[in-house]
Amino acid sequence: MAEQAVSRKQSANAIRALSMDAVQKAKSGHPGAPMGMADIAQVLWCDFLKHNPGDPKWFNRDRFVLSNGHGSMLIYSVLHLTGYDLSNEDLQQFRQFDSKTPGHPEFGYTPGVETTTGPLGQGLANGVGMAIAEKTLGAQFNREGHEVVDHNTYVFVGDGCLMEGISHEVCSLAGTLNLGKLVVFYDDNGISIDGEVEQWFADDTGKRFEAYGWQVLSVDGHDPDAISDAIKQGISDSERPTLISCKTIIGFGSPNKQGTAATHGAPLGDEEIAATREALDWPHAPFVIPQEIKQAWDATEQGFTAESAWKEKLVIYEEEYPELAMELVRRLKGQLPSYFSAMADEYIAKCQLAQDNIPSRKASQNSIEAYAALLPELIGGSADLTGSNLTNWSGSSAISEKADGNYIYYGVREFGMSAIATGMALHGGFIPYTATFLIFMEYARNAVRMSALMKQQSIFVYTHDSIGQGEDGPTHQPIEQLANLRTTPNMSVWRPCDNVESAVAWKAAIEKQTGPTSLVFSRQNLPHQARSDEQVQAISRGAYVLKDCEGEPSVIVLATGSEVSISLAAVESLQAEGVKARLVSIPCVDVFEAQDAEYREQVLPNAVRHRVAVEAAGVDYWHKLVGLDGKVIGMRTFGESAPGAVLMEHFGFTAENVIATAKSFNS
């Protein structure tokens, strides 16, 4: 760094001052990490990070992720200082309602925040996803002399991030995939909320990461020159991700509390802040940053220059490779091809004509085959269950074998896989889908929730969806998972009953850009359902009348997935006996509930109180649709190990039981 009037230490102290002041004003927060990592942040953001405060969404920017998200005042301070639309007043609203500076960084609230962090380790996982996206997209679009996709991913992590199991999952995979543009800074301060971590975290972290295939460097986290040299070494290794282990003092500058857990998760207090100002030679009032320090941090001009240079490269690229350039821009904008919807509808119509009796997991694979050929942005993967989840297709190419591929063999890493996919979605240029058995959503639950919290388009494929999978037994038979997913805000959940509903579900997931989708499929064969063209069109509305009676029904049966065929047989028998029964297939409750009141009344008339919901899953969710007068045929226990057909009969998922339950309203 060239000589300047403002020293590195003064610049770093601006982070320390803003962080301790904001936490003190909010009367809550975590000053220790920002104060300890300030020197690292100053070097990275002032000397290396490629970004543009005037355009936080510039595609070819470097990605910065604060995985130890409790240290949020670090990133807020840096964003403010470098020139993002984050004012001093915003900093003073730290942790307050409807502010740009929430307690943990949140995507969509603060310009420059790349992902929501807080659950430790997941920011690191998102960063791995971003690095995969950059490498794969670059391989797909870059040409010799035209590196239009070319940026690094930098991640800050703490002890807690590396204790979490997800860090093992994703860092092991990052090493295997040779993510050379991923640089992780480990804030090795030896302190967590409970105190000195050596009592419960005595790993040789460096050797652990070397075993993953990473480049490992160690520096004094308060030595700017050493930090700078390490970053240069990190980004020069194109084959290995880099861990820079930075020995730091938590709460650096606080004369009486630094190096202790007292700085971790509580304000320093007025007296200690005064003492810290004196120790840091920072005589300025709270939230006051001298003009010369602001100027030293300001990155608006260099950011504009960097983006302008990239745009010039893009123009030349467009001249040389016009079709590639057009495709890249389309994908970066998140726009589907103009022909997709119509061609998807054609495929759905073909499915209706084909009348295939197949497992919905196989119907899902057929849909992937049809849609992936139209959508090069689809990038799939499975947690070591590709042959069971059926998520590959004829055009699948593993990124571990071809850099420009479209399929990821994640290994047994459900949690890591799901968080990586969210990172890829956040990066842009891809629509990721991942797969495992529905029961193992439990391993990934928090990553699924974070995807929904950030409203990211990630498609979660879950197969082996009920006790119907049979012999693997209750450890592998989901019961409560569907309700869990359905009650997650922003999440759509589809459980199709046949090949046609599966094709519609996949189309809906691809077209939904306001959040994730869970697609839930069966292991066992499901019979094709006869439908009119009108009924086929109605599937996309989440629920529709599959089998109706003359006049107003006296009883309505609602069913999903594998239970639709059972329910159809029951309704047909009831009708033969003169009962006015209606069957409603309801593959996606949240989509149905979003329909207008008129359509919902057509399908489920309020006046019809005799309703039976049938699903081989937990019963409680369905009471909101059947009401106090309705009944639910579902699971109230865990499953058993036996052939699926035996279990379905044992637990009452038979036409006979549906008939008896429907008749019981009049008994």
**Given CA atoms 107, 111, 114, 120 in this order, what sign does their dihedral have?**
negative
Look at residues 489, 369, 434 and name the one whose alpha carbon lies nearest to residue 173.
Answer: 434
Which structure tokens are listed for 264? 């971790």
Which contiguous run of DSSP H or E holds residue 216?
Answer: strand 215-220
Enumerate residues 6+ apart whose C-beta is below 8 A from 424.
129, 130, 132, 133, 379, 430, 432
Contact 192, 263 (CB under 8 A): no
Query: Exposed, middle or buried, 381 (CB in 10 Å: 0-12/13-18/19+)?
Result: buried
Q: At what angle do helices 360-372 and 499-511 cross, to 10 degrees?
A: 50
Tokens 């590709």 found at: 386
Enumerate residues 6+ apart whose C-beta is below 8 A from 291.
none
Tokens 């001052």 found at: 17
Instruction: Concatenate the DSSP letters of all residues of 117-143 into one string.
Output: --STTHHHHHHHHHHHHHHHHHHHH-B
DSSP strand pairing (182-188 vs 459-463) = unpaired
Catalytic site residue from 307, 414, 563, 615: 414
Task: Supply angle C-alpha 457, 86, 96, rounded to 5.
Answer: 80
Tokens 């379905």 found at: 648
In whole angstroms, how far apart are CA 153 and each of 183, 235, 569? 6, 10, 55
Contact 647, 637 (CB under 8 A): no
Enumerate residues 6+ apart whose C-beta is below 8 A from 512.
457, 492
CA–CA separation, 658 vs 155, rounded Å?
54
CA–CA separation, 658 vs 539, rounded Å?
23
Residue 414 appears among annotated catalytic residues: yes
Please give the DSSP secondary-structure letter assigned to residue 587: S
CA–CA separation, 8 vs 225, rounded Å?
10
User: What stretches of 345-421 adopt beta strand conformation (E)?
Assistant: 358-359, 378-382, 407-409
CA–CA separation, 53 vs 86, rounded Å?
10
Q: For the chain, how far is it from start to end, CA to CA, in angstroms? A: 86
Name the 3-class secondary structure at 604. Answer: coil
Look at residues 419, 455, 521 and name the one whose alpha carbon lies nearest to residue 168.
Answer: 419
User: Would you please indicate which residues are annotated as catalytic (active-site) residues?
Assistant: 414
